Amino acid sequence: MAQPTNALPSSVQRCHELLAWLIPLLDQFPRSRRFTLGERLESGLLFVLENLVDATYSRDKREALARANRRLAVTRHLWRLCLELEVIGLKRYEYGAKLMLALGGEIGAWLRARSAPPPPAESGPSGPPTAPA
C-alpha cells in the first residue's frame, strides 16, 4: 500500500509535483530537442526524486541529499538552455525555474539541518545532585 504523501518530506512531494507538471510539457518539445534536452531534464529530475526518497529512508541522508542537489543544479542549467534555444516560452521558463528554485531551497535546508551540530543537552541545576534530607 502506498505511503500517504503527508508522511514524506515536502521536498519529495515538491519534486513529484514538478515532474508531474514537466513531463507532459517535455512531450511537446520539438523532436530535435525531445530526445536530447527533454530526456536529460526528465532523467535528471527522476534522479533527484530517487535520491530524495533514498534520503527519506536512509540513516545517513547527507550523501543522497548532496547528489540530489548537484543534479538539480545541472537540471537548472538545462532548463535555462531550453529558454535560450526557444524550446519553451518565457512564462513556462519562469514557472519551472520558480519550482526548481523552491525545490533547491528545501533540499539545501534539509542538508543544512543534517550538517548542523546537535543542540546542546539541557543542563540541570549546577553542582552534584543532593540527597533529600
Residue 16, CA distances (Å) to 25, 45, 84 in order: 15, 9, 25
Question: Which one-letter amino acid corresponds to residue 81?
Answer: L
How many C-beta atoms surround the C-beta of residue 42 within 10 A? 17
What are the residue ranges spanned by the domains of the chain? 9-115
Those residues with Cβ within 8 angstroms of residue 73's Cβ, 6 or more apart along the chain or in another chain:
104
**CATH classification (class only), 9-115:** mainly alpha
* pLDDT tens digits for range 42-100: 999 999 999 999 999 999 999 999 999 999 999 999 999 999 999 999 999 999 999 99
Closest by CA to 19, choosing from 65, 55, 67, 72, is: 72
* pLDDT tens digits for range 85-128: 999 999 999 999 999 999 999 999 999 987 766 556 555 555 55
Task: Fill in the DSSP letter of residue 3.
Answer: P
In this prediction the pTM is 0.80
